[in-house]
Amino acid sequence: MRRGIRAALWLAIVLAVLAALPALWARTVSEGHRFAVPDAPSAPVAIVFGAELAPGGTQPKPFLAGRLDVAADLYRAGKVTSVLVSGDARGTSGDEVGAMERYLEARGVPGDRIAEDGLGLDSYDTCLRARDVYGLRRVLLVSQNFHLVRAVTLCRQLGVDADGVNARCDNCRTSTLVKNRARDFVACHKAVYDLWSHRPAGTG
């Protein structure tokens, strides 16, 4: 009986370690490549990852607004000269990239310095399309820190010299933050598979 309990315990430990490996790997790869705005290096372009819009489909939720505010800060500080907004132009909550562009313009980023990628359906697609469609080789990625771990890892593994800039989330609910942290932990497994399989953009 005790032998069976010990075996089950060891199996649980092994499975827990295996489950954590993708997230630990991503954290290691992205270490030293995630910054606050004042410490962020310069790059030609900042990429802002899209997210669900507020009801009505024209305004970002606090989660996304925090990312866009940081992108505007980077532009005003002269740390980037252009912004690429990447998301789902046909999302269930509305046109993410259109709303993102309007929000940035209202905060002083000129429209001719903003590019839209309406087919950035997930972080892998955004990084792959940044490289292959937009020809980007050096970028700053703007998102909340727990997402930056995965996003920076994906872009760097795809050959894009990417650093991440931590976005604010001042009005985000605690439940939203907890849910997204858990989601990103699981998403690290998909990131490993996408990189290993060389999945084409738009097929995830």
Report the amino acid identity of residue 73. D
Is 73 domain-assigned? Answer: yes
d(CA 63, CA 73): 16
Helix crossing, 96-106 with 62-76: angle to 10°? 50
CATH number at residue 60: 3.40.50.620
Q: Please give the structure tokens belonging to residue 186.
A: 């699981």
d(CA 82, CA 59): 21
Reported as a single tens digit per residue, the pLDDT across 92-120 is 999 999 999 999 999 999 999 999 999 99
- Pairing relation of β-strands 114-117 and 161-166? unpaired
pTM above 0.85, yes or no: yes
Is 204 domain-assigned? Answer: no
Low-confidence ranges of the chain (pLDDT < 50): none
Domain of residue 168, residue span = 2-197
Is 135 domain-assigned? Answer: yes
Contact 46, 163 (CB under 8 A): no
